[in-house]
Structure 1
Amino acid sequence: MSAFKLKWFPLLLPAAFLLAAGSIWLQRLPAPPDNVYLDTFKTAFLGILLEALPFVLLGSLLSSALRVFVPDETLARWIPRRPLPAILLSCLLGVIFPVCECGMIPLVRRLMHKGMPVYSAITFILAGPILNPVVFGATLTAFRAHPDLAYARMGLALAVSVLVGLVLYAAVKKPPLRLSLARSGGEPHRPEMRGGKAVSVFVHTADEFFEMGKYLIIGCLLTAGIQTFLDQGSLSAIGDRPLLSYLFMMGLAFALSLCSTSDAFVASAFLHTFPEGALLAFVVLGPMLDFKNALMLLSLFKTGFALLLFFLIFALVFTGSVLFSLVL
């Protein structure tokens, strides 16, 4: 199989998931929607959207402030030389510098070219979008009656990030980047905007907010559609099957590509249908590995390394979520 085909092979997974889910939904669709269906759809959509938007805006603002006021060299200098302290510090950077996954990969690419080891960079990519106070607050708000899910999300994200970093440190010896800095043409020069850094923060905030907002709206539309038009017996049948419920929610997280500050609100809509372990898998896998992130990772890293990374993330999130259910 050629490198081009290998590069696009992982993208068949969300397509297969959507086709399979669509075939089930089409068989269960009720009669053409009337006012009751439309009112239910609008109520579900607006409820999820309005609850999530403030956290998306706050995350965009903090991410933009980090981009404008904190130089990349400052972060790179903080990384220790020893692997375990470097991995742990990379996990904790998200607490100090909350960056959404939408802007994580471009930031980490700059840090890698400035000397950050690959295992630290991947750990930061995985942990940063989840292990920050904005996401923790959003998760607590979404699961008010189940705060254990918020703490479990932080714990599982930390464990998965550390384990992936350690495996990559032990297994990967060759540089996994597709292009070196010289071959890729270096980092583009960004002229300073008129009005100074404060204006730059607001401009970048608007860009990130609208970039993440379109994914949030798509996710809210799909979730509201599932709640309104999908036969509840079908959802209950999936939720009653442990393996199928985990795979369904993980596939949904990959396909929806929601922002980490809003995915918990979508997951909470399935709280009475799916087990808590499946919802935990949804909110941990999505920020670490979704459709848009897979594209960016495949463009940044060599195909073999990216496939290894995808397998590690999926296997560890699935195992950790099942263990969480067993402990409960």
Structure 2
Amino acid sequence: MPKADEMTDVVGGTASVAVRTPERRRISWPMVAGSLAVVSVAVLGPAAWRAQWLSHPAVQAWRTVCLAITVQALPFLLLGTVLSGAINAFVPAELFTRVLPKRPTLAVPVAGVAGAVLPGCECASVPVANSLISRGVTPAAAFAFLLSAPAINPVVLTATAVAFPGSPTMVAARLLASLATAAVMGWLWLWLGRAEWLRPTVRHTGHRYGHSRWTEFRLGFQHDLLHAGGFLVLGAMAAATFNVTVPRSVLDTFSGSPGWSVLFLAGLAVVLAVCSEADAFVAASLTGFSPTARLAFMVVGPMVDLKLIALQAGTFGREFAWRFSTATTAVAVAASALIGGALL
């Protein structure tokens, strides 16, 4: 077993390896939290008390909403992680440098559109963007791809269409708002970004012994499914709790104001950190809010959430992560409000 975690990209017979510190077995804390919640319900309290508590209408409603969100989203989450693992394992990173225009201003929107054909969870987009930068792709284009890939890929758009049946304008609004946000952020980096904000990645040439592409696919798929699945369970639980416990008066305070409702659901998307393959089902369950507010939830979530901020800080540095996430949130909210107001 190797003593260090290494990420290998093989292109044209050569290999580039990123060496990190020795890896410990990582625990999927969202999955642990979801499991503990289920176990606590099953083992705590007398049987009669459990039966009475579980038969309470509010608990039954919570269970129904949580289960419905999870069951609807799980097939799309599974498909997304399979495709993401296959792309990371079998598609050479050099492909991107070949198809992107040489001029950075043109490379940004092209990279944003390229995200539409590369399904994957937002967790996978950060290392892919880091790999692109190390291969010579301009950071502005890599960041546009980082933002667009988890937001507008076919799996996510199909899931959105299923979650909002009979509402093709919601799918179109999500596509346009996400593309606009990715392109604007790429151009903003060209205009205002500084190289010193990016922490350099230590890389050297070599080959990772004993790891085939199929092994890389299996490991990537396993990690993404467990990691994103845990956040899906927590997101479904949080959405169900939100629907059942929050009083109508509180919802009316935010949902009654177009501006506050958009900001509230944008902030909720950052906190819940639901995987992009599943967030449309969570948004569809928030029926007390306007379509524009729910659009903001789906545009902000795949681009800025707590786990993504942590991933970006670990990959590019904290100075970059806070600046980039703050600016992305502002641009995503503005794009959602403008496009949602026009189409929804």
Query: What TM-score bracket applies, with the shorter chain setting the length?
Result: 0.7 to 0.9
1:106 positional shift: 1.2
State whether residues 289 and 313 of structure 1, in contact with CA within 8 Å, keep that contact through their aligned partners in structure 2: yes
State whether residues 110 and 187 of structure 1, in contact with CA within 8 Å, keep that contact through their aligned partners in structure 2: no
1:146 positional shift: 2.5
Q: Does 1:215 align with 2:231?
A: yes
Secondary structure, aligned partner of 2:297? helix
1:204 counterpart residue number: 220
1:243 positional shift: 2.4
Aligned-partner Cα distance in 2 for 1:306–1:278: 25
Out of 175, 184, 187, which is 1:154 matched to?
A: 175
Q: Does 1:291 align with 2:298?
A: no
1:95 counterpart residue number: 116
- Give the 3 Å change call, closer, same or farther, for CA 251–191 of structure 1 in structure 2: farther
Amino acid at match of 1:91: G
State whether residues 91 and 131 of structure 1, in contact with CA within 8 Å, keep that contact through their aligned partners in structure 2: no
Out of 302, 311, 320, which is 2:326 matched to?
A: 311
Aligned-partner Cα distance in 2 for 1:146–1:128: 22
Q: Any gaps of 5 or more consecutive residues in structure 1?
A: 1-31
1:11 counterpart residue number: none
1:174 counterpart residue number: 195
State whether residues 116 and 148 of structure 2, in contact with CA within 8 Å, keep that contact through their aligned partners in structure 1: no
- Give the 3 Å change call, closer, same or farther, for CA 175–98 of structure 1 in structure 2: farther
RMSD: 2.1
Amino acid at match of 2:296: A
Once the two structures are aligned, what percentage of the paired residues are identical?
Answer: 31
Deviations 1:12-67 (A, max 9, x none): xxxxxxxxxxxxxxxxxxxx885212211111111000000000000000001101
1:36 counterpart residue number: 57
State whether residues 273 and 306 of structure 2, in contact with CA within 8 Å, keep that contact through their aligned partners in structure 1: yes
Comparing 75-84 and 287-296, the one that deviates more: 75-84
State whether residues 255 and 290 of structure 2, in contact with CA within 8 Å, keep that contact through their aligned partners in structure 1: yes
1:165 counterpart residue number: 186
Aligned-partner Cα distance in 2 for 1:71–1:298: 25
Comparing 226-235 and 101-110, the one that deviates more: 226-235
Amino acid at match of 1:77: R
Q: Does 1:241 align with 2:262?
A: no
Deviations 1:192-225 (A, max 9, x none): 44xx544643443232111110000000011111
1:183-194 → structure 2 map (5 Å cutoff): 184=202, 186=204, 190-193=208-211
Secondary structure, aligned partner of 2:321? helix
Aligned-partner Cα distance in 1 for 2:194–2:247: 50
Secondary structure, aligned partner of 2:108? helix
Comparing 59-68 and 142-151, the one that deviates more: 142-151
Aligned-partner Cα distance in 2 for 1:144–1:190: 46
Aligned-partner Cα distance in 2 for 1:188–1:292: 30
Aligned-partner Cα distance in 1 for 2:205–2:255: 47
1:1-328 → structure 2 map (5 Å cutoff): 35-178=56-199, 180-181=200-201, 184=202, 186=204, 190-193=208-211, 197-198=213-214, 200-271=216-287, 273-327=288-342, 328=344
Secondary structure, aligned partner of 2:166? coil
Aligned-partner Cα distance in 2 for 1:248–1:39: 27
Aligned-partner Cα distance in 1 for 2:118–2:54: 45
